[in-house]
Amino acid sequence: MVSIMVNKKLQDMANKVASEFTSEKDFEEFTKALRKQFWESTLEGELDDHLGYAKHETRGNGTGTVVTAIPVNASTANTVNLK
């Protein structure tokens, strides 16, 4: 029963999105953006899992992580070891 409701909602959402396309190019651009968003969020999740903390969390600070800062007007990077 729940599966049927979920499938119905997904089908309704797909029909609504599909009605917005006026050409094949619109559809291709949409699927490209959708794939890009999928892979970015997947890779970010993998990185968070690997590091043990999410992006921008303070939990990673002071753990010996090497931070590389590139000043706006500099041609070389400055590396600081936080250990």
**Domain range list for the chain:** 2-81
Q: What is the pTM of this model?
A: 0.52
> Which residues partner with 68 through β-bridges?
79
Q: What percent of the chain has pLDDT over 70?
A: 67
Give the pLDDT confidence score for residue 11 in this predicted structure: 92
The answer to whether 54 and 73 have CB atoms below 8 angstroms apart is no
Q: What is the C-alpha separation between 8 and 14, in angstroms, rounded?
A: 10
Q: What is the C-alpha separation between 72 and 75, in angstroms, rounded?
A: 8
pLDDT at 38 > cutoff 60: yes
Residues 6+ apart with CB under 8 A from 80: 66, 67, 68, 69
